[in-house]
Chains A and B, each alone.
Chain A
Amino acid sequence: MSIPRVLNRRNRILLGELTKTDFKLRYQGSVLGYLWALLRPLMMFAILYVVFSKLLRFGNDIPHYSVYLLTGTTLWSFFTECTSQGIQTMLMRGDLIRKVSFPKYILVVSSTMTAVINLSINLVVVVIFALINGVTPSLNWLLVPLFILELYILALGIAFLLGAINVKYRDIMSIWDVCIQALFYAVPIIYPVTMIANTSAFAAKLILLNPIAQVIQDVRYNLITTEAITIWNYLKNPVAIAVPFIITFVTLIIGSIYFRRASKFFAEEV
């Protein structure tokens, strides 16, 4: 599918309208309902901060650890929201698929749009929080959107692939929920990478090959402190550095190709 066709007029109109109705349906016009969704990463941060930083004394050697943690939970919430909404959307919009012909990938993209809006608002909170915490603004901040884009591409690829399989095998969503639980601990959100690096440099390197971990560390590096361990300053092998980016793009390519073929049968199977 070529780019001009993907972004043609009809598809843009449809994307806008579906995003709007998605938003309306999910929060039913309740301001408080939306506020809760927005507050989720902040709440998660508050709990994790009390448990891990105050009680278990994680990250005491890291400057601005609280900003560190908030950045992690914000990006993590974005990733989980994008993937789980994207995977479920075909079943939730089954009535549309059965009755009207339209490009199905728009459903997936529109379902992730709420997560994108939430992330943008939450990032403002992160920036304010960082400034209060005494983080000095720098030109590096401009690189942050690039890494977020990378995370979005990964999430979209996963949503395409698993969303398409989920139409046929409805247990994919439950399996993905378990994966999310496991992934949460495989990604340095609550624990700093330095903690792993101190015991095993190999394990720390392995963790950084995961694109989610790589993105979170890169955002922390550019936003908060250049002391953060990233794939660029910790791994020396250029092939290894390329791994998370390859995973991200290969996921999107496989996801889109599979989705494109499978979507021709959604109307029969959903």
Chain B
Amino acid sequence: MAKRKIGVRKEVVLDNGIAIEVKNLSKSFRLPTERSWGLKQAIFNRLRGVKGYKDQRVLRNLSFKVNKGEFLGIVGRNGSGKSTLLKILSGIYYPESGEVTVNGTLVPFIELGVGFNPELTGRENVYLNGALLGFSKKEMDAMYEDIWKFAELEEFQDQKLKNYSSGMQVRLAFSIAIRAKGDILILDEVLAVGDAAFQQKCNDYFASLRGNQTVILVTHSMSNVRKFCDRAILIEGGKIVVEGEPEKVADEYMKLFQ
């Protein structure tokens, strides 16, 4: 099997005003064409000279910068490569080629549950999640009350997570992400979850972040792009098609669907 290329992902601590820098980033996934995943299939494929997979290009040669304290919106239709981009920025996927430089600590909130375990209680999950983000038990103790207060779920702390509704899980995960105080916050679609009251709370919180915290927000809500973002990027087919004023990007996004 051909060796896969690996690009560069660097974590640095610099005082240059840049939070994230992406240079010529490309990524493709290897999708298996056969159903079976076994060793036998791999050997057969090799003997027959078949690849057994096809490469799916997801991101093509992206370059952009995020300044410190900037609120950047990323928009695009489903399957345009937004989530893959966020996962590469967060270090979950590796770039295939190009270079990603992350300056400072990064707290991602990308998918429902962020690694919650249904068999553990809310309390245990909070500490596990904290450890994954690099916080000790002591540091988590200090944030603990705050997290539950923001999530408004104090009474469910000692329930197993499988007894939480999905809305409750997202609220808890989101509260951890915003209380964890990283230098860069990466958020995917969180505004779409929770009831109206919780959404209002998140909106207020975002408004307060503007100018103080580096945030990258992936969203389908153009009103949020207009309201919160300093700058926005529209991605289509794995490429940046528009970059700049939130107004302009939001208008271009709407045009995609006409």
The answer to whether A171 and B114 touch across the interface, beta carbons within 8 angstroms, is: no
Binds B, one of A95-103, A130-138, A214-222: A95-103
Residue contact A171 to B38, C-beta cutoff 8 Å: yes
Instruction: Check B4–A99 contact: CB distance below 8 A.
Output: no
Q: Would you give 22 A-B contacts (Cβ < 8 Å), ordered by A? A: A13-B131, A17-B127, A17-B131, A17-B137, A18-B128, A21-B128, A24-B120, A25-B119, A25-B120, A28-B119, A95-B113, A99-B110, A99-B111, A99-B115, A100-B92, A100-B133, A101-B108, A168-B37, A169-B39, A171-B38, A171-B40, A264-B94
B30 at the interface (CB under 8 A from A): yes
Residue A116 interfacial (CB < 8 Å): no
Q: Which chain B residues numbered 59 to 116 have a C-beta less than 8 Å away from chain A?
A: 87, 90-94, 108, 110-111, 113-115
The complex places the Cα of A176 from the Cα of B113 at a distance, in Å, of 33
B131 touches A95 (CB 8 A): no
Determine if A61 is an interface residue (Cβ-Cβ < 8 Å): no
B117 touching A21, Cβ below 8 Å:
yes
Which among B29, B92, B94 has the greatest number of chain A C-beta atoms within 10 A?
A: B92
Which bucket holds chain B's interface residue count?
35 or more
Say yes or no: B134 contacts A13, CB within 8 Å. yes
Annotate A238-269 by CB proximity to B: 1 below 8 A, 0 otherwise: 00000000000000000000000000110110
Chain A residues positioned under 8 Å from B42 (CB to CB): 169
Interface string of B159-189 (1 = CB under 8 A from A): 0000000000000000000000000000000
The contact of B124 among A24, A96, A267, by CB within 8 Å, is A24
Pick from B90, B131, B137: contact of A18, CB under 8 Å: B131
Which residues of A sit under 8 angstroms from B108, Cβ to Cβ? 100-101
A254 to chain B, nearest CB (A): 16
**Cβ contacts under 8 Å, A9 to chain B:** 134, 136
Q: Are A268 and B30 in contact (CB under 8 A)?
A: yes
CA distance A98 to B111 in the complex (A): 9
Does A10 count as interface, using CB distance less than 8 angstroms? Answer: yes
Q: Report whether over half of chain B's contact residues are helix, strand or loop; otherwise say mixed.
A: loop
Which one of B87, B128, B131 contacts A267 once the chains associate, using CB atoms below 8 Å?
Answer: B87
Q: Which residue of A lies closest to B109 (CB)?
A: A99
- A100 to B128 CA separation, bound complex (whole angstroms): 12
- Check if A144 is an interface residue, CB within 8 A of chain B: no
Closest Cβ–Cβ distance, residue A25 to chain B (whole Å): 6
Within 8 Å CB of B134, what residues of A? 9-10, 13-14
Where the two chains meet, the residues of B that have a C-beta atom closer than 8 Å to any C-beta of A are: 4, 6, 29-30, 37-40, 42, 87, 90-94, 108, 110-111, 113-115, 117, 119-120, 124, 127-128, 130-137
Chain A residues contacting B128 (CB-CB under 8 Å) are 17-18, 21
Q: Which A residues between 142 and 184 are near B, CB-CB below 8 angstroms?
A: 168-172, 175
A33 within 8 A of B: no
Q: How far is the CA of A24 from the CA of B127 in the complex (A)?
A: 14
Binding site for B on A (CB under 8 A): 9-10, 13-14, 16-18, 21, 24-25, 28, 95-102, 168-172, 175, 264-265, 267-268
Complex CA distance for A13 and B133, rounded to whole angstroms = 10
Specify the chain B residue showing the minimal Cβ separation from A25: B119
List A contacts of B124 (CB < 8 A). Answer: 21, 24
Q: Using known A-B contacts A25-B117, A96-B115, determine if residue A13 contacts B136 with beta carbons closer than 8 Å.
A: yes
CB-contact partner of B131 in A14, A25, A169, A264, under 8 A: A14
Residues of B within 8 A of A99 (CB): 92, 110-111, 113-115
Q: Do A267 and B135 touch across chains, with their CB atoms under 8 A apart? A: no
Residues on B with C-beta less than 8 A from A16 are 131
The answer to whether A264 touches B6 (Cβ under 8 A) is yes
Whole-angstrom CA separation of A17 from B29 in the bound complex: 32
Cβ contacts under 8 Å, B40 to chain A: 171
CA distance A161 to B137 in the complex (A): 32
For residue B105, give the distance in angstroms from its CB to the closest CB of chain A. Answer: 10
- Give the chain A neighbours of B132 by CB distance below 8 A: 14, 17, 96, 100, 102
* A96: chain B residues within 8 A (beta carbon): 115, 132
Given A21-B117, A170-B38, A267-B93, output 8 extra A-B contacts at Cβ < 8 Å.
A16-B131, A17-B137, A25-B117, A25-B120, A28-B119, A99-B110, A169-B37, A267-B92
User: For the complex, what is the distance from the CA of A267 to the CA of B27, rounded to whole Å?
Assistant: 14
Q: State the Cβ distance, A94 to closest chain B Cβ, in Å.
A: 10
C-alpha spacing A267/B29, complex, angstroms: 11
Q: How far is the CB of B169 from chain A (nearest CB, A)?
A: 12
Could you tell me the distance between the alpha carbons of A172 and B42 in the complex, rounded to whole angstroms? Answer: 13
Q: How far is the CA of A21 from the CA of B125 in the complex (A)?
A: 9
| Residues from chain B with Cβ under 8 Å of A168 in the complex | 37
